[in-house]
Amino acid sequence: MARVLLLVPSATYRVKDFLEAARALGVQVVVGTPEAHALQAVMGTGALEVPLHDPQAAADAIVAHDRVAPLDAIVAVDDGGTVAAAVAGERLGLRTNAPEAVAAARDKLRMRARLDALEVPQPRYGALGADAGPATVATVVATVGLPCVVKPTTLSGSQGVLRADSVEEAVEVAARVRRIATAAGVDARAPLLVERFAPGPEVAVEGLLSDGRLRVLAVFDKPDPLEGPAFEESIYVTPSRLDADDAAAVIDVTAAATRALGLRNGPVHAEVRVAQGRATVIEVAARTIGGLCSRTLSFSTGRTLEQLVIAQALGRAEDATEPMAGASGVLMLPTPRAGRLVGVEGSERALAIAGITAVEITVAPGRTVVPVPEGNRYLGFVFARARSADAVVEALRRAQASLVITIEPDTGPEGTAVAAAG
């Protein structure tokens, strides 16, 4: 029986879906995580202690484990394990990406430099060092142009991503982004990325690479405009309603970006803006779509996205990846304000709406919640399927309107209210 190591960060939605995929494929699983004892107790599966924050140390632990129980593949469930998976996979001779390619995809500034080298369409960009004052910000913004977007180089989920429409605003935004990044554990000396705001609708591309060949599994529309100042995502729907020329431009630029980064194997999730027939790369990640959003994807073979990823990592013959007929989508339930979540009511009403297939509230009552850009976690996910993308979007909007979110002001140890950051 094939053995697969799943690399799982301390906090993720994704473990259950990958474990179910492995069982469906008849694959033995070991979970590698920084908190092995806790995860083993919760999931009831074998777990290996792996320090994902240190890819070389993580690879040492994985190679040592392989000597006792050989591995056939390593799959990173989220961003946090992608570099460690590549380092360990290369040392073990497994089907993987070059570590430097994954590291470039993991760091937005390094990604920009690689795309620039091969002239892949992307926004003009610059960097702000940790000691950048107002004059430096003004100089960088003058080079990049306005409006611009300031973001940390290694965070995801729109955390710390903010738009600025003037130099004065860019100075304030850069300071706020720096605070968010540092609070999230980013090295205070790390640079910030500044890039020209790219106009046009944004889409997401989900694909699988096999020896450098990109198979596009889905293109998702994001029907809510992402114009800033923050960029909290809400609805994804597939198939995309882009016209044929724009859709082809999106796929071509995604493939060009993977080549520029040097990615050759495994999942790819890309964010692309398209306007007037020109596609612009916003981001490329060497992982699958985040959260529970992969549940929107279903293929004619009955395979899930996680099954396709594991099978590809094992080098198994590729299944056909034609999507099922109709359209599907997901609402990532935004956090409306900071505080303590009392609860989310109305799931039954949402499920009664034609087209709604599931409602998953993923944050437990009593937890402190923080909206984007300080936070990066959604309250839950609502799924829909219908004959058309328009019908899916309508169902998801009706479902969102039927949900009642109650959040109370959070209080500190002295009973004083805790204000929202920023």
- pLDDT score for 46: 64
Instruction: Say if residue 412's pLDDT is above 80.
Output: no
- Comparing 157 with 163, the larger pLDDT belongs to 163
Torsion, Cα 14 15 21 26, to 10 degrees, reads: 160
Instruction: Say if residue 320's pLDDT is above 80.
Output: no
- Distance from C-alpha of 315 to C-alpha of 343, rounded to nearest angstrom: 44
User: How many Cβ atoms from other residues are within 10 Å of residue 234's Cβ?
Assistant: 17
Q: Which helix (H) or strand (E) holds 335?
A: none
Q: In angstroms, how far is CA 269 from the centroid of its own chain? A: 7
Nearest to 207 by CA among 116, 117, 269, 161: 269
Please say which residue of 196, 223, 240 terminates a domain: 196
SS (H, E, C) 229-259: CECCCCEEEECCCCCHHHHHHHHHHHHHHHH
Instruction: Say if residue 44's pLDDT is above 70.
Output: no
Residues 99 and 159 in one domain: no
Instruction: Say if residue 416's pLDDT is above 60.
Output: no
Torsion, Cα 35 366 44 311, to 10 degrees, reads: -80
Q: What is the CATH number of the domain that holds 364?
A: 3.30.470.20
For the chain, what is the domain count? 3
Instruction: Say if residue 45's pLDDT is above 70.
Output: no
The tens digit of pLDDT for each residue in 238-278 reads 999 999 999 999 999 999 999 999 999 999 999 999 988 89
- pLDDT score for 142: 97
Instruction: Say if residue 415's pLDDT is above 60.
Output: no
DSSP 100: H
The tens digit of pLDDT for each residue in 332-389 reads 999 999 999 999 999 999 999 999 999 999 999 999 999 999 998 999 999 999 999 9
Say if 288 falls within a structural domain.
no
- Comparing 422 with 164, the larger pLDDT belongs to 164
- pLDDT score for 422: 29
Q: What is the CATH number of the domain that holds 19?
A: 3.40.50.20
Instruction: Say if residue 10's pLDDT is above 80.
Output: no
Tokens of 317: 């013959």
Mean pLDDT of all residues belonging to the chain: 93
Instruction: Say if residue 420's pLDDT is above 70.
Output: no
Residues 166 and 95 in one domain: no
Tokens of 240: 């995309």
- pLDDT score for 35: 79
Average pLDDT, stretch 276-281?
A: 93
Where in the sequence is the domain holding 419, given as residue range(s)?
A: 326-422
Contact residues for 298 (Cβ-Cβ < 8 A; gap 6+): 304, 323, 324, 328
User: How many Cβ atoms from other residues are within 10 Å of residue 134's Cβ?
Assistant: 14
- Comparing 300 with 190, the larger pLDDT belongs to 190
- pLDDT score for 276: 84
Please say which residue of 181, 196, 211 terminates a domain: 196
- Distance from C-alpha of 250 to C-alpha of 280, rounded to nearest angstrom: 8
Which of 39-43, 136-140, 364-368 is predicted with the least confidence, judged by mean pLDDT? Answer: 39-43
Cα–Cα separations (whole angstroms), residue 169 to 1, 9, 109: 57, 35, 22
Say if 263 falls within a structural domain.
no
